[in-house]
Structure 1
Amino acid sequence: MTDLNAPLILTLALDAEATAFFNDLRRQHFPPNRNYLDAHLTLFHHLPGARFEELTQQLAARSRVQSPLQLRVAGVQFLGQGVAYSVQSPELEALHRELQAQWLPDLTPQDQQRRRPHVTVQNKVRPEVARALHEQLTAEFTPFEALGTGLQLWAYRNGPWEWLRTFSFINEQ
């Protein structure tokens, strides 16, 4: 069990091919001293650690009835001090809204907002470095499909994240 004072982060697990693509870009472009996580798509930034047991039960139940999510990696975003790939998915939006409604009393203002899904491949760099990468990746970009394969729960440790559990979605054939 995790430290009940640590905030929890919920991310969407991506299929192996998309994960490898984004991780390769992170290895190339993320500042090495800040790149201690694999590529991820954050759904909630700050869930209460004190509700760990309840949250894991809810996530396990949800994952048992959730098939993998169809995702469209739709574009390259300039973040000011970094670059991300935007992700579109009506299924992901519906899942996020459902979880948001379930947890609303415990959500921070950031987590109460509509999610703009993305996978960050560069962050915390000078704006001109980010702008150059954004231009390069945009010129090379072709939209592609990916799958959301499950949910991952993490404890935030003032920098590094501690992986706690993955809730894999059911596979429908």
Structure 2
Amino acid sequence: MSEAPRPLILTLTLDEQAQAYFNDLRQRHFPPALNHLAAHVTLFHSLPAAELPAIKAELQQRCAALPLLPLQVSGVRFLGQGVAFNLDNTSLRTLHRELQAAWQPWLTPQDQHRLNPHVTVQNKVGPDVAKRLFLELSRAFQPFPATGTGLALWRYLGGPWEPVQQFAFAGS
């Protein structure tokens, strides 16, 4: 009996400064035993590996036509058992809706939802621990800019992710 192919995950890549900032927070506040990944902005959680050629073709075409995406890091979000930063950009939401339409037959219920872009810097901790970090980060928070530089496709390995391919936006 063969194992089913591992699903694919699609993320937004960020400029170096924003990536370093979120990675630092994630390293300090994410439970080390569960922290297999750098900070990331997940756009799709489970795309079918069998559709990899079509997915790659779609992403290459779209990214070649997209400029860099100016993002606004607009707030700190309490997740109950963690903390994230909200990201705002209308073009990112439009891109997500267009990809949802193109990939509709393949999407899981989770990937059919409206995109609410964020970077999780803490997860799977007790609510009291999460609330303390949320309050600490909220007190000092000032909105700041970041830039979406492209998309990254990953293969889910049950915890860690394996990079498949990156797609830079035309303005990168």
Residue 40 of structure 1: aligned partner: 40
> For 1:38, what is the secondary structure of its paired residue?
coil
Residue 88 of structure 1: aligned partner: 88
**CA distance in structure 2 between the aligned counterparts of 1:138 and 1:72, rounded to whole angstroms:** 16
Letter in 2 for 1:64: A
Describe the superposition over 1:141-163 as per-residue Cα deviations: whole angstroms up to 9, x where unpaired.
00001110000000011111111
1:19 aligns with 2:11: no
Residue 110 of structure 2: aligned partner: 110
**CA distance in structure 2 between the aligned counterparts of 1:19 and 1:34, rounded to whole angstroms:** 19
Runs of 5+ unmatched residues, structure 1: none
Residue 148 of structure 1: aligned partner: 148
Percent identity over the alignment is 54
1:78 aligns with 2:64: no
Residue 121 of structure 2: aligned partner: 121
> For 1:129, what is the secondary structure of its paired residue?
helix
For residue 35 of structure 1, report the CA deviation from its aligned partner.
1.3
Residue 162 of structure 1: aligned partner: 162
- Contact 1:4–1:50 (CA<8 Å) still a contact in 2? no
**CA distance in structure 2 between the aligned counterparts of 1:20 and 1:91, rounded to whole angstroms:** 23
1:99 aligns with 2:92: no
- Contact 1:122–1:130 (CA<8 Å) still a contact in 2? yes
Residue 51 of structure 1: aligned partner: 51
Residue 136 of structure 2: aligned partner: 136
| Structure 1 moving runs of 4+ over 2 Å | none
For residue 70 of structure 1, report the CA deviation from its aligned partner.
1.2
Q: TM-score, normalised by structure 2?
A: 0.96
Letter in 2 for 1:148: G
Runs of 5+ unmatched residues, structure 2: none
Describe the superposition over 1:66-118 as per-residue Cα deviations: whole angstroms up to 9, x where unpaired.
11111110000000110000111101111111111110111011100101110
For residue 4 of structure 1, report the CA deviation from its aligned partner.
7.0
For residue 62 of structure 1, report the CA deviation from its aligned partner.
1.0
Q: TM-score, normalised by structure 1?
A: 0.95
> For 2:97, what is the secondary structure of its paired residue?
helix
> For 1:163, what is the secondary structure of its paired residue?
strand
**CA distance in structure 2 between the aligned counterparts of 1:132 and 1:35, rounded to whole angstroms:** 20
RMSD: 1.2
